[in-house]
Structure 1
């Protein structure tokens, strides 16, 4: 069993590579050497090209597949996801993802889905089936993670919104009614005189809220597109909501008809290209028929390629008409996103919250928005002392 000092030296040796061997000592067993080779193939690739070290993943799909198998053997899933992402970015392996045998060896995650969606238009038929299987697995994993929480949070908010002070006898909530009337307790009769009844209206079959999701599908928003599509499908399954889903870059695609299948929604997107938020807002305004009962959520980094002044005017017009407007700079677990600070500040000046949110925190945000609660106060409450965003994602510029 290694001592604490030996274990620390081993970790530093794996982190720093062979250049640190004189200070940390050599690696002691075959598994450590294999781990070092797997890391070196990725992070020493530039030295390899300069002729300083052998290794690297090379251009062979089978070799990459073996490397993927090695890292899955030696590292936990979260580390594997990071290594895969770095390999695609650092070694330009995107084209190799068109190989079915390579896709089968990859650890599926939301970032891989984003990469595959970016390649959607060039995927050969031999790879498309495997790619769809990878996307389906990730989508199902996300659904298992968020669906039940989302339905519970949103249903609770809808039930509260349907509360009425003049319920029919069968709809009276006796527990809440008694609590509301405790001041009218008559000791001599040992009873409460309910001056105010509390209950729920029988509107279970009615559409109580309209939700319009508008998702920026520029390349930097890939993870947000994946999560938002799954959330859209979950919301669309709730009969009390009328959910619309619009994705956009410089063009607009209304994917509402595909919301029963989030995988189909994702393959209907085309990541990359420019961004015309103003044009997308104009289309979304045409979908809003009940402003006072509509929640509009724009998911975008706010880098506008269209007419900025018109974009801000449209958002303000929505808000003034009674629409509940939220702007999410990101819907992901990726940490603090890049975004247009000037546009975020301008939206804050209009009274429109602009912040990032993790998928785990999003159901609570939805419930609060449906309740027409104070989203700004929620952002401040959920931000940690270090100034990070709801769901521990980072600071919330524009929601100061």
Structure 2
């Protein structure tokens, strides 16, 4: 039986965990065999006994071009070339990209595109405008384009920027409103007043603080101390520094951090700074009004010097007690480890809230330096991966100086 390797989930038989069973109805059994045939490749002699026809033949060809084993995918059907591979020409790849968009849903198309870039070395072809117009844009494609930025010809750059802008705008629509609402509430609560006006009283905190003054005979509490929160929208209340590792493995995190940086910068009550680094440090704060400019100002790849980046961030802290520093890195440090840890300890001792994110993406648990993560945890700066949907809650907790909502990864 010929196998394709890992094929997209949409082609797999739901609930199948071995040889297809015989207890289904005829229709269900036939559909299961069809899906197994698409997963396995081969032909009618592959063990499924299923012969493809019509649209399935085209789907099979698109899958085989990418996932075919050893350059050939079983025996040829009459009149049809069964050789695998997309070739090295842009036209053949462009046709294939059109085919997969016709036959598969968008989520599967994105997976197949990433696999094609990884398995078949198609990154160079993304430097051609007609190729970029054919692909399904997502965060991973943006990361690939950014890594190719310096090699990109001028004829391609405008098309690439349009692709990146579409992804960024989609992310902003998804993330901006909730982020602003969550952080505005956190800022209001963090600016508690000891003598609040009536409409600024935080009644839950006031009652909790005055329970000992309960008068049973009157069934009421006489508050000796009112707790309130001020309105943070009129002036800068917090400063946030996003310090982002731009090594190649952090591509998705760089994209999300740029989008969140732009959202935070749009809030008048938060002074936001975005710093990206590899072995050099670049401050992109003056470009935060346009995250596309930010992304094209990054340079994915290269080494990592976290210590140097944190040293720069230290020089930009003016109000430690009102500052949140977010380090986004897999912690594979190429600089001076002990100095890096000393800087984190010094910032925390001065009142800075320090947050370490191993990744800011939907990609799950990343590879990271466990020794450095443990050392940071010992400094009460635990390192954890964070999804974009969780990030607003993490920032709200950091602003309010309450425990971070660290996900359980067990």
Residues 97-136 of structure 1 mapped to structure 2, 5 A cutoff: 97-136=126-165
Q: 1:264 to 1:20 in 2, by over 3 A?
A: farther
1:261 is aligned to 2:290: yes
Tell me the equivalent position of 2:30.
Answer: 6
Structure 2 unaligned residues grouped into runs of 5+: 1-24, 77-81
1:348 Cα shift? Answer: 1.3
TM-score, normalised by the number of residues in structure 2: 0.87
TM-score (norm. length: structure 1)? 0.89
Structure 1 partner of 2:50: 26
CA offset at residue 13 of structure 1?
0.9
Structure-2 change in CA distance of 1:230 and 1:28 (3 Å): same
- Structure 1 unaligned blocks of 5 or more: 389-394, 396-400
Question: Does the CA contact (< 8 Å) of 1:151 and 1:234 recur in 2?
Answer: yes
Q: Which of 340, 347, 350 pairs up with 2:379?
A: 350
Compared CA separation, residues 2 and 80, structure 1 to 2 (3 A): farther
Q: State the match for 2:89 in structure 1.
A: 60
Match status 1:275 vs 2:298: no
Matches within 5 A, 1:207-226: 207-226=236-255
Q: CA deviation at 1:21?
A: 4.3
Deviations 1:44-87 (A, max 9, x none): 16424999951311111111111111111111111111100000
Higher deviation after alignment, 192-201 or 46-55: 46-55
| Match for residue 183 of structure 2 among 142, 149, 154 | 154
| 1: CA distance, partners of 2:227 / 2:112 | 56
Which whole-Å CA distance do the structure 1 matches of 2:155 and 2:113 have between them? 22
Is it true that 1:141 corresponds to 2:170 in the alignment?
yes
1:372 & 1:247 partners in 2: Cα distance? 25
| Contact 1:45 1:56 survives alignment (8 Å) | no
Structure 2 distance, partners of 1:271, 1:153, is 31
SS in 2 for 1:3: helix
Q: How does 1:1-400 map to 2 (within 5 A)?
A: 3-18=27-42, 21-44=45-68, 46-48=70-72, 54-169=83-198, 171-172=200-201, 193-375=222-404, 378-379=405-406, 382-383=407-408, 388=409
- How many residues in Structure 1 have an aligned counterpart in Structure 2? 381
CA distance in 2, matches of 1:208, 1:69: 50
Question: Displacement, 1:27?
Answer: 3.4
Task: Tell me if structure 2 keeps the 8 A contact 1:184–1:194.
Answer: yes
Distance 1:50 1:255, change over 3 A: farther
Greater shift after overlay, 344-353 or 130-139? 344-353
Note if contact 1:299-1:328 (Cα within 8 Å) is conserved in structure 2: yes
Contact preservation (8 Å) 1:172, 1:198: yes
Distance 1:75 1:337 in 2: 28
Cα RMSD for the two superposed structures: 2.4
Does the C-alpha gap of structure 1 residues 287 and 181 become closer, same or farther in structure 2, counting only changes over 3 Å?
A: same
